[in-house]
Amino acid sequence: MRVPLPARLIAALLVLAAVLTGTLRLRAMQPAGAPSPAPLGASRPPNIILILADDLGYGDLGSYGSPVIRTPHLDALARDGFRATSAYAPSPSCSPTRASILTGRYAHRVGIRAPLSPRSPIGLRADAHVTLPQLLRGRGYRTMLVGKWHLGDQPGTRPTDHAFDRFVGMLYSHDYTDPWVATDERLALYDGTRRRIEQPDPSTLTQTYTAEARTFIRDSGAARQPFFLYLEHAMPHVPLAVASGDRRTTSASLYAAVVEALDDSVGEIRAELAATGQASNTIVIFTSDNGPWNAMPDRMFGRDLVKPWDHGSTGPFRGGKATTYEGGHRVPFIAAWPSRLAPRVSDVPISLVDLLPTLASVAGATASVPRDLDGIDIGPVLTGAAAPADRVLLYDHLGRAEAVRVGAWKLRLTYPVDGAAGVTELFHLLRDPGERHDVARAEPVIVATLRRHLPPAP
């Protein structure tokens, strides 16, 4: 039987044109006549500060269009550096995204399906994965984790089992306690393996973490050794809290005050870098682990301590945390490195799975990077030298890829669960960033092409 070649050819051309619609847009982003900078790898390895907010929405910074939250320090960081409008958390929830950041792989490949409960037998095993702190320590970096881990509390999976020289923080989110999460495990703030503070007051966390970060920056400067600081803030995850006496709580919403306190923290860290002469050779990255928790389950409202409106904004995007609509995955992403990155706003799609290969390249550790990563080195995107033309981005959720973006197109495919029907939705993210107009029925060829990147029905 003859294959109807002309029809297939037309279909293939249609797909090509469709992908190019996205691709051309990506290429159009480079300023005309801009120089093609050298790769980002530096002869003198820079310090690396990676700051991760928790449940911060795409629309929660001034530079990302917030009408109610003031973030002058983060806006200045964005003005000085690279700001992405198409940066993705690889998963729409805590532990999976964190696993992807540390391994450069989608969480379903690491076996982290969902946020980890205390005493879970699952966790990020230090002996099973090459992780970012390992790569950097191998290049002579001092390494520190400050803040929330959430990748295991059993032996072999704790931060102190990984290649962090220092750890000050907590093993889960600060809502893993009565009345929000039923557990016999008592929350603690750890210093290494030592429980330093039992059941710490959430209102102290941002300041405590910032003080620890500053000390580490200062000490590393004195030691004249490059450092990797991974600062995983507890906020603005619920229960929200700011330092007692913060004057902003009288004039702004509590959520705004909490984010503005994070902004203060970034200002303090930059000031510490400047005071210790390390500003120009430090890359500072700020992002979030997923979108805002704007549809919290009922269990969160016990004893009226958390309010239904204690969450951020997705900006123009649909959905939120725990969904594979853009609001669950699209996050702010700012990267400033004064000596190497010119100011730039970019809509090239990037993902937090890209952090490991990119930062390994920055630190000159490329040779140690595993070959079968999902992430890619986005150094050329940060400098504006090039954009990956055929990038396939996955939206990992609950142990599988539920959606995929190629160029401007996004396919979202859910299966029937608990009697609810599955959906097949296709969106064009340039003309319809808010995912209001599903065109799956009108564009069967695009659906078929993108579907190949998603796993078959379970």
Site string for its own copies, 51-70 (x = CB under 8 A): --------x--x-xxxxx--
253 lies in the binding site for its own copies (CB under 8 A): yes
Instruction: Mark whether 311 is an active-site residue.
Output: no
> Minimum Å distance from CB 396 to its own copies?
21
Of 422, 382, 441, nearest in space to 29 by CA: 382
- The catalytic residue among 73, 129, 150, 311 is 150
H or E stretch covering 16: helix 5-28
Residue of the chain from 4, 9, 27, 155 that contacts its own copies (CB under 8 A): 27
d(CA 45, CA 108): 32
Residue of the chain from 428, 443, 449, 450 that contacts its own copies (CB under 8 A): 428
Which residue type does 275 have?
Answer: A
- The catalytic residue among 94, 162, 237, 428 is 94
d(CA 314, CA 303): 27
DSSP 8-class letter at 304: G
Residue 165 or 432 having the CB closest to its own copies: 432
Structural contact between residues 112 and 124, judged by C-beta atoms closer than 8 angstroms: yes
Residue 156 or 302 having the CB closest to its own copies: 302
Contacts of 452 (CB under 8 A, 6+ apart): none
Cα–Cα distances (Å) from 248 to 154, 191, 262, in that order, read 39, 30, 13
421 phi, psi to nearest 5 deg: -70, 150
# residues contacting its own copies (CB under 8 A): 41
Tokens of 79: 């003005």
Tokens of 188: 């603690």
Among positions 67-106, residues that touch its own copies (CB under 8 A) are 67-68, 85-86
53 phi, psi to nearest 5 deg: -85, 160
308 lies in the binding site for its own copies (CB under 8 A): yes
Instruction: Mark whether 428 is an active-site residue.
Output: no
Residue 206 or 313 having the CB closest to its own copies: 313
Rg (CA), the chain: 22
* Binding range to its own copies, per CB under 8 A, among 204-212, 309-317, 352-360, 380-388: 309-317
Among positions 344-403, residues that touch its own copies (CB under 8 A) are 345, 347
Residue 328 or 433 having the CB closest to its own copies: 433
Would you please indicate which residues are annotated as catalytic (active-site) residues?
94, 150
* Contact residues for its own copies, defined by CB under 8 A: 21, 24-25, 27-28, 59, 62, 64-68, 85-86, 248, 250-256, 294, 308-309, 313-316, 330, 345, 347, 428-434, 436-437
